[in-house]
Amino acid sequence: MERVHFVEQAELCPKALIISSTCVEDIPFCFYKDKHVIMDAEKAFHDIRLNLEEDVYIQFNFLGAMTHPKYVSVLEDNPFIPINKESAMVDELIAEMFLDKVLLEHQKKQLLVEIDQALDDGDEERFAELTKQLLAKNL
């Protein structure tokens, strides 16, 4: 099983099986080997059995596949999907913006806790300093 990988877009892999249930409108069975397409399950089985040292990428198509916890838990990233650099950059930017927002929210909460403590302690100087920090950070 170490050479078996469950992926999406298996047709992009050098050796792949795509198996579809009857509840979806996809081809029931398809075997890809070095850009050749084989529809015969016996030939596919024979090739897999004779070449056990080769990785096999499998895609199952069935209704609700991407919401089925057990199936999703075995899915791996397909290493043969071309990387869209523009999309990757956008994803990175979104992640960075999200982290910045979370950090600012944390800083705001921390400052508010410290401001409350300064008020409880009657420390006007600390209160003024922390309030100034809060306003300076535009929080």
Look at phi and psi of residue 30 and say left if phi exceeds 0, alpha if psi is from -120 to 50, else beta.
beta
pTM metric for this prediction: 0.60
From first to last of the 139 residues of the chain, give the pLDDT tens digit: 789 999 999 999 999 999 999 999 999 999 999 989 999 999 999 999 999 999 999 999 999 999 999 999 999 999 998 877 777 788 889 999 999 999 999 999 999 999 999 999 999 999 999 999 999 877 5
Q: What is the pLDDT of residue 139?
A: 54
Instruction: Please name the residues in contact with 80: beta carbons below 8 A apart, sequence gap of 6 or more.
Output: 9, 12, 13, 14, 57
Tokens of 42: 């016996």
Edge-first strand order for the sheet with 36-38 is 4-6, 56-61, 15-20, 29-33, 36-38
